[in-house]
Amino acid sequence: MSILRAENLTLTLRTKDASIPVLRDVSIAVAPGRILGLVGESGAGKSMIGRVLSGLLPPNMAVTAGSLHFDGHDLLTEPKRALLGREIAFIPQEPMTALNPVHTIGQQMHEHLARLGVPAGERQARAIAALDSVHTSEALLTRYPHQLSGGQCQRVLIAMAFASRPKLVIADEPTTALDVSVQARIVLLMRELQAKAGTAVIFITHDLRLAAGVCDDIAVLYAGRIVEHGPVAEVFAQEGHPYTRCLHLANPPLSGPPRALLSLPDQMPGLRALATLRGCAFAPRCPVATADCAELEPGLSVLAGAHRIACHHPARTAQILPPTDDPHPIRLPGDAILTVANLGKTFRNGPFWRRSETRAVHDASFHIRAGEFLAIVGESGSGKSTIGRLVTGLETPSAGSITLAGQDVTTPSAKTRAHRIANVQMVFQDPQSALNPRSRIADIVTQAMEAAGRPKPERQARARELLAEMALPPEIATRVPSQLSGGQRQRVNIARALCTVPRLLVADEIVSGLDVSIQAQLLTLLARLRHELDFALLFITHDLSVVRHLCDRVLVMHRGEIVEAGEVQTLFAAPRHPYTQALLASVPPDLPL
């Protein structure tokens, strides 16, 4: 018996000239004590289901067809606010910003308990009990959100969500903003509370592996429709829909032999395209599509038992295989291009009479050889980004030395600046803020030439070359960043750094925050560029599977120190440091191929 049942739900966005179906014919059901995973890339509509449930839709969106029932209530007609927080609870994506910064945790807990109707005298005891249930101390009650870590904030929010013993909990990417090791603990905690109270959970995520580990049932969304739906065991035993299969193959594996990534072309149709869509929405990207796929949209039909998919040719899905041949043989790395010895960085805060010091990096020594891809992995605050900033000269080291292509560049100065710029370039994490929104793409990617005073025609020509190298369409040269997709922007970001072909590229989390299919495109691109341009890469990331796919060697950082270093394959197969072991253990396991 389901606690929540949505049938043929259609959500429409009305604009001046069109009505766009954001969700189409979505039917889901969740039973008490079960976890339903909603999986898909950004823009697939998975978060919209949560918004329909809460009734907090933007004013230009409305449910235009279908039904939605929760525990005897018709959620489309009855006011929902009385149910929210009591019967239906939400766990947010960004725990750090989901708590009000000007009130203590205690004040916010008390407010929530008051709203649940707990008498004033019992609230403190209930708040302590709630924190206890998420294994945190009552000392948090007097603290403010900024004094807590992301994991602690999420525990508080989970405690609040489960405080009312809700019948349904909706968790929207609850672990995405957290470190890997914290992620695993938060997921375990949610499962524990959910199992104890028999709560139904909708778990929204972009991470197929995580969903496989957490959920009982799974629904894969593409362009506002459910394309595959069924119990996790059945779905992953035999992926029925080509999209699910492609998502899976775009994910770099963490164990077993390394394989090339399946890199889907283009991207999911945007909202505007949905209005005029014909045939199967996935057909233009589908490796096994036939002519009729573009004509007729497939309905959701039973594949086996409770496993349903929306595809005309389920038998062809198994034909999708990872690319087998590696077209870019890796060259043997050459001599050391960057040598870092006993590097230290201590940040000083406050005025001189009450200075506090934060040791971001301590005694780090490593080198990168020409053409080598070296990864630095670690959790937030481990000092990995600081190393990147020290190497590029954005920060000055407090100790140690940096030698770049034979010259000491430890202290950034006018003398070393030209040498540094000629040899190192940096790619920043967020292309949205790293690209000047008012500049044309051609000008952005040739910024390095502007500084060198190169004439305009030469820059134009180089911009065309760069865009071609990045597999970007030439016509974007005259556009501005906001007219590009997220994946395209990140390529422009990389193109800019490669403009003058540096010998070392420093890349800080450049694929995190991107969808899996876009990430696969970028990783494949980087591997190809490495072959063509022969540069070394310092790849800063928290994502271990990406490291294993892309890099030769890896440094593991923990609290400012390099705790383990070695060849990627060896180190991942047999980590020696307990921290590395814990880090690897907290990544959700690979799915069977």
Partner 1 sequence: MIATLLKRQATALPILLIVSALLFTALRLLPVDPAAMSMPPNATKAEVEAARVAMGLDRPLPEQYAIWIGQVAHGDLGRSIHVRRPVSTLLADTLPATIELAVAAMLIAGSLGLSGGLILFALRDNKAEPLAETATTLMMSVPEFLWALLFIFVFGVALQALPFTGRLDPGISRPVLTGFLLFDAAWLGQWKAFASALLHLVLPAAALGIAFAPPIMRVLRASLIDIYHEDYIRQARLRGLSETRILLFHALQNAGLPTLTLMGVQFGILFGGSLLIEVIYAYPGMGNLMVDAVRNADLPIIQAVGLTYCIVVLTINAVVDALYHVINPRLRAR
Task: Tell me if 160 contacts partner 1 by CB under 8 A.
Answer: yes
* DSSP 3-state of 292: helix
Task: Tell me if 23 contacts partner 1 by CB under 8 A.
Answer: no
Query: What interhelical angle do 242-250 and 516-533 show, nearest 10?
Result: 50
Task: Tell me if 82 contacts partner 1 by CB under 8 A.
Answer: yes
Alpha-carbon Rg for the chain, nearest whole angstrom, is: 26
Task: Tell me if 348 contacts partner 1 by CB under 8 A.
Answer: no
Q: How far is the CB of 452 from partner 1 (least distance, A)?
A: 41
Task: Tell me if 126 contacts partner 1 by CB under 8 A.
Answer: no
375 bridge partner residues: 539, 554
> Which residue from 396, 201, 226 is spatially nearest to 299, judged by alpha carbons?
226
CA dihedral of residues 179, 184, 187, 192 (deg, nearest 10): -140
**For residues 90 and 282, which CB has a smaller minimum distance to partner 1 in the complex?**
90
Helix and strand element counts for the chain (H, E):
20, 22
**For residues 160 and 338, which CB has a smaller minimum distance to partner 1 in the complex?**
160
- Candidates 70, 90, 162, 236; binder of partner 1 (CB under 8 A) is 90
- Candidates 38, 44, 118, 157; binder of partner 1 (CB under 8 A) is 157
In degrees, rounded to 5, the angle at the alpha carbon of residue 233 between the alpha carbons of residues 229 and 237 is 90
Rounded distance, CA 395 to CA 403, Å?
15
Pairing of strands 536-541, 553-558: unpaired
Q: How far is the CB of 280 from partner 1 (least distance, A)?
A: 34
- Candidates 61, 84, 128, 271; binder of partner 1 (CB under 8 A) is 84
Given a contact cutoff of 8 angstroms between Cβ atoms, the answer to whether 304 and 234 are in contact is yes
Q: How far is the CB of 409 from partner 1 (least distance, A)?
A: 36
Q: How far is the CB of 460 from partner 1 (least distance, A)?
A: 40
Task: Tell me if 94 contacts partner 1 by CB under 8 A.
Answer: yes
**For residues 85 and 279, which CB has a smaller minimum distance to partner 1 in the complex?**
85
Task: Tell me if 120 contacts partner 1 by CB under 8 A.
Answer: no
Task: Tell me if 60 contacts partner 1 by CB under 8 A.
Answer: no
- Candidates 56, 188, 233, 330; binder of partner 1 (CB under 8 A) is 56
Q: Which span (104-112, 414-422, 464-472, 506-514) binds partner 1, by CB under 8 A?
A: 104-112
Given a contact cutoff of 8 angstroms between Cβ atoms, the answer to whether 376 and 364 are in contact is no
Task: Tell me if 38 contacts partner 1 by CB under 8 A.
Answer: no
Q: How far is the CB of 154 from partner 1 (least distance, A)?
A: 12
Q: How far is the CB of 351 from partner 1 (least distance, A)?
A: 9
Task: Tell me if 2 contacts partner 1 by CB under 8 A.
Answer: no
Q: How far is the CB of 88 from partner 1 (least distance, A)?
A: 8
Q: How many residues bind partner 1 (CB under 8 A)?
A: 28
Residue 61 token pair: 């969106």
**For residues 115 and 576, which CB has a smaller minimum distance to partner 1 in the complex?**
115
Helices (H), 328-372: none
Q: Which span (107-115, 232-240, 418-426, 577-585) binds partner 1, by CB under 8 A?
A: 107-115
**For residues 86 and 479, which CB has a smaller minimum distance to partner 1 in the complex?**
86
Task: Tell me if 83 contacts partner 1 by CB under 8 A.
Answer: yes
Rounded distance, CA 571 to CA 580, Å?
9
**For residues 113 and 189, which CB has a smaller minimum distance to partner 1 in the complex?**
113
* DSSP 3-state of 165: coil
259: Cβ contacts below 8 Å, ≥ 6 apart? 253, 322, 323, 324
Q: Which span (143-151, 249-257, 439-447, 552-560) binds partner 1, by CB under 8 A?
A: 143-151
- Cα-flanking dihedrals φ and ψ of residue 348, to 5°? -105, 130
Task: Tell me if 256 contacts partner 1 by CB under 8 A.
Answer: no
Task: Tell me if 328 contacts partner 1 by CB under 8 A.
Answer: no
Task: Tell me if 86 contacts partner 1 by CB under 8 A.
Answer: yes
E strand or H helix that includes residue 73? strand 73-74
Q: How far is the CB of 232 from partner 1 (least distance, A)?
A: 27
Q: Please report the DSSP string for 4-55 in residue order.
A: EEEEEEEEEEE-SS-EEEEEEEEEEEE-TT-EEEEE--TTSSHHHHHHHHHT
Task: Tell me if 92 contacts partner 1 by CB under 8 A.
Answer: yes
Q: Which span (80-88, 327-335, 363-371, 421-429) binds partner 1, by CB under 8 A?
A: 80-88
- Candidates 11, 28, 89, 309; binder of partner 1 (CB under 8 A) is 89
Task: Tell me if 71 contacts partner 1 by CB under 8 A.
Answer: no
Task: Tell me if 14 contacts partner 1 by CB under 8 A.
Answer: no
Task: Tell me if 421 contacts partner 1 by CB under 8 A.
Answer: no
Distance of CA 149 to the CA centre of its chain: 19
For residue 251, count CB atoms less than 10 angstroms from its CB and return exposed for 0-12, middle for 13-18, buried for 19 or more.
buried
**For residues 55 and 344, which CB has a smaller minimum distance to partner 1 in the complex?**
55
> Which residue from 39, 38, 85, 32 is spatially nearest to 195, judged by alpha carbons?
32
Rounded distance, CA 412 to CA 395, Å?
8
**For residues 157 and 510, which CB has a smaller minimum distance to partner 1 in the complex?**
157
Rounded distance, CA 66 to CA 208, Å?
28
561 bridge partner residues: 558
Q: Which residues in this chain contact partner 1 in the complex, by CB under 8 A?
A: 54, 56, 81-86, 89-90, 92, 94, 97-104, 111-112, 115, 144, 146-147, 157, 160
